[in-house]
Amino acid sequence: MKFLMILGLILGANPVVVGYHAGSTAQKESSPVTQKTKRLELSIVTDRQKYKENSRIRLTAMLTNVDYVKDIFVYYRLGWGYLSSLTYTIRDASGKLIHPTVLADDLPFPIARDDNTYFVKLAPEHFLGTALVGRLAQLNLRRPGKYSISVEYHSPISSTGVDLNNFWSKEDGTIRSNVVHIQVLP
């Protein structure tokens, strides 16, 4: 991609980066939203692939600016929960949805319109990350088997409440991560 941009500059063309990158192509439940100026990618990893039934899991989520030209502003706190910015989906090997026994419920802090201290500027190829750490039982992974986990990012802040250019807001939609696969052993 960088080579094509350099070639375009040499030939006098005006390259335009267009698109939205949502991670894995394995999830096809909904069509991605196309963005013309902002490109973020959400990637997740676990601390290992195999767990014993009573273990703890660490799920790390990283929101990366994959726009090769512009900085992107995001709300500084990546919290877990539907009112916050990250939600996870767990499925068993047959594709059945697994409902956690404990729901994450972080809440965003209220912000004033002219207060930009609650935002992080992500330069190209920079990321903001967080981790969800808990017992498998909290995620309702009590039985041995294979499971898949995916995460979605959705900004908890509307663009109407922010006075920043190139801010990823609630109106910009949801970003889906790659899918990680784990196995729970007896």
Q: What is the mean pLDDT of residues 107-119?
A: 78
pLDDT band with cut points at 50, 70 and 90 for residue 113:
low
Residues 123-159: pLDDT tens digits?
999 999 999 999 999 999 999 999 999 999 999 999 8
Contacts of 171 (CB under 8 A, 6+ apart): 158, 159
User: Quick one: CA torsion of 110, 84, 44, 181, rounded to 10 degrees?
Assistant: 170
Model confidence at 4: pLDDT above 60? no
Total-model pTM:
0.77
Residue 14 pLDDT > 70: no
CATH numbers and ranges of domains, the chain? 21-185 (2.60.40.2550)
pLDDT-based confidence at residue 44 (cuts at 50, 70, 90) = very high
